[in-house]
Structure formats: structure tokens, C-alpha cells
Amino acid sequence: MPQTSLQPKQVELVEASYQRCAERPEFYTTFYELFLASDPRIPPMFAGTKFERQHRLLRHALGLLIIYAKRENPALLERIAVRHNRHDVGAPPELYPKFIDAMVDALERHDPGFTPELGDAWRRVMAPGVAYMQARY
């Protein structure tokens, strides 16, 4: 039977993976390389970005996505969702799967504990927060 809901064990796997990767600058460098290369619409959006600051903000946001997966409190993601909506950054909902794929790819390269099972757990953990951001476009 296909799995439907997120398992507590999957959240634990993801939290441990986050601990291993979050402090590694090369994880964020790889992520943004892959994400920007994934669609021609993306690089111009980051033309003026200071990536050192961006890495720090993304680290924080990934932590929020994990917390959101455990309890869907919209207040957690409110600020980030507004920042990405059509009136600000304007991140098109259909580009979020590229974000997820680049993230899992970067994790595969930089998390020594990566397994296909962990990649699947990351996708499930990111899904609720991504759905919220897409809906707030």
C-alpha cells in the first residue's frame, strides 16, 4: 500500500540530516548552483543576491519547513510566503518542484548519511510548507 502521511521516523531522519548539512557552506553553494541551472527564469531573479546572507536565510527557512511539517502553523511561514508572492519576489508555484529537486540533489552530494529513503523523507517533510507557499502566491 502506498504511504500517505508523514511518519515521525521520517521527520527524525530529516532533522538528523539537517544537523549534518546546515552548517556546511558547500551544501548551499551546490543547492543554488543546481537550482539556478534548473530553469532559465531563475538566474535573473537572483541577479542582485548576496549569497552569503542568502545561505543563512535559507538555513533558517529549512528549519522552519521542518517545524511546519510537524505542526502546520501558518504564522511560521507567513513572512517567507509574502516575500515570495506575486507582489514581491514572484516565485511561480510551478518552480517549487525545481527547488525540491535541487535540495534533494544537494543533500545527496553533501550528506554522508544520504539514502533514497532519506531523500523521500525530505520530500515529504518539505511538501506541506511548499504547498502553503504555492497557495499564497
CA-based nearest residue to 74, from 127, 124, 8, 129: 129
Q: Determine if 48 is a binding residue for ligand HEM (CB under 6 A).
A: yes
Contact region with ligand HEM (CB under 6 A), list: 7-15, 24-32, 66-74, 129-137: 129-137
Beta carbon of residue 25, minimum distance to ligand HEM (angstroms, whole number): 16
Hey, CA dihedral for 3, 80, 26, 9, is it positive or negative?
A: negative
Which residues, 6+ apart, have CB-to-CB distance to 107 below 8 Å? Answer: 17, 21, 27, 114, 118, 119, 122
Site string for ligand HEM, 77-116 (x = CB under 6 A): ---x--xx----x-x---xx--x-----------------
Contact region with ligand HEM (CB under 6 A), list: 1-9, 44-52, 68-76, 109-117: 44-52
Residue closer to ligand HEM by CB (options 18, 99) is 99
103 with 126: CB under 8 angstroms?
Answer: yes
* Distance linking the first and last C-alpha atoms of the chain: 33
Chain residues that interact with ligand HEM, rule: CB under 6 A: 42, 45-46, 48-49, 54, 57-58, 61, 65, 80, 83-84, 89, 91, 95-96, 99, 129-130, 133
